[in-house]
Amino acid sequence: MMNDKKPVAIVLGGIYPHGAVLDKLKKRGYFTILIDYFDNPPAASHADLHINESAMDYDAVLKIARERNAELVLSPCLDQQIQIAMRVSETLGLSHPFDSQTAINVTNKKYMKTMMIDHGIPTARYYQVGMDSDLTALNLDYPLIVKPVDGCGAAGVTRVEEEAGLKEAVRMACEWSWSDEAIVEEFKSGMEISAYTYVRDGKAILVTTQNRISFMSDKVIKCYGAVSPAEIPDAVRDQVEEIATRIAEVFELDMTPMFLQAIIDKNGQVSVIEFSPRLGGGTCFRLMEKNAGFDMLEASIDSYLGRKNLQVPEREQLTYLIYQVQAFECIYDHTEGLAELKEEGLISDYFFQKTKGMHVSTEKASSARVAAILVEGEDKAVCFNKLQKALPRIIVINDKGEDVTDRSLVLDEEDIALVTEEKN
């Protein structure tokens, strides 16, 4: 496909929100190329050209960028692909928001945790381990969370209640790690939130928050819902902003989106789980548009161009309930009921995370998600009632015409109350 001499922008990874990124790049006058190894990822239809290569293959991405004379290489909503985007941009002298070493520091939990601890950013005590580490020497209090140092999508993340399960958890985390390393950290109990900020002139501006709703499945943590904005007092919001600003200072980040996951304990103290100078990979950008009047995708593109974005977020007025529609392992065909539910007003929007022919699996938390729905209301009770009416009518169909909807992940009254202790 010819590009009519338009400047070329390459997006790494074909997830749903990158489709919206590609649309915005087209409006800015770019010829858009998507690099993703899937045959038909959700964002593919939005690109002028889809190239079937791995977005994690530095040499392949560099070759394509050179051959196409790309002016922009970006991955605004994926974690590990940030390293590839920064390395390729550095090599070719293209504009990018931060250098490749910073990209390593913010995507490898070993470096991230070390820098946070060294600079007084509140986070759980931890050890970095490998397959052959002496796990009996770890001076940590159970329960523990074990995770790959450089994984994504909650792959290989488990909770361990006692020493007997630690070795297997470390083995699994190392297998999911690019560098065969894992982080073992103390589990912090409390309310889990995601906070979405934009860093401008060195200050993190809080745009919106979410309460994450998770549960343990075979010791694997799965997040399948969220309520936005999070029900936290202004003092905690201020604390989140202050911590995010400190993170931006320590990691030398500016003019960039940044989101962080954190635990709020019963005393209102914030402990950072992890962060990333990007958007989340799901529906968060829609929530920021709808409820805070802030276009974080535009801000993200500006960050890659080295431009300051001057938007000012509004305080959220509505409540949104986000629910992840999941399926059992299959070859995905389609999902029924979503268009009708939106037309009736039971859901305000929906987004597909799988396309026809894609493999649905349970190997990591995000792999079983086929769609996400947004439910809107004046409070969470209204949202919950709408969701309860909508869920029985959502049906996931596989390539054999069978109903493969996973109905075990149903929000109940305990979830919607957002209790601070996780469900087991």
The predicted model scores a pTM of 0.90
Delimit the domains of the chain by residue range.
8-96, 125-186, 191-416
Are 370 and 360 in contact, with CB atoms under 8 Å apart?
yes
The pairing of beta strand 270-276 with beta strand 256-264: antiparallel
Beta-strand (E) ranges in 64-152? 72-74, 126-130, 144-148
Torsion of CA 112, 372, 54, 275, to 10 degrees: -10
CA nearest neighbour of 190 among 166, 162, 211? 211
How many Å apart are CA 167 and CA 186, to the nearest integer?
A: 15
* Cβ 225 vs Cβ 215: under 8 Å: no
* pLDDT at residue 300 in the model: 97
For 149, which DSSP code?
Answer: T
CATH fold label, 8-96: Rossmann fold (3.40.50)
Q: Give the CATH fold of the 191-416 domain.
A: D-amino Acid Aminotransferase; Chain A, domain 1 (3.30.470)
Fold of 125-186: Dna Ligase; domain 1 (3.30.1490)
- Of 247, 269, 273, nearest to 123 by C-alpha is 273
Judged on CB neighbours under 10 Å (0-12, 13-18, 19+), 67 is exposed
pLDDT of residue 418: 45
- In this prediction, residue 154 carries a pLDDT of 66
Query: pLDDT tens string for the chain (424 positions)?
Result: 566 789 999 999 999 999 999 999 999 999 999 999 999 999 999 999 999 999 999 999 999 999 999 999 999 999 889 999 999 999 999 999 999 999 999 998 889 999 999 999 999 999 999 888 888 889 999 999 999 988 665 678 888 998 888 999 999 999 988 889 999 999 988 999 999 999 999 999 999 999 988 665 555 556 678 999 999 999 999 999 999 999 999 999 999 999 999 999 999 999 999 999 998 878 899 999 999 999 999 999 999 999 999 999 999 999 999 999 999 999 999 999 999 999 999 999 999 999 999 999 877 667 889 999 999 999 989 999 999 999 999 999 999 999 999 987 666 555 555 433 443 3
Please state, in angstroms and rounded to a whole number, the distance separating the CA atoms of residues 183 and 129: 6
Query: Same fold for the domain at 125-186 and the one at 191-416?
Result: no
Is-contact 405 325, C-beta < 8 A?
Answer: yes
Beta bridge partners of 322: 226, 374
d(CA 274, CA 263): 10
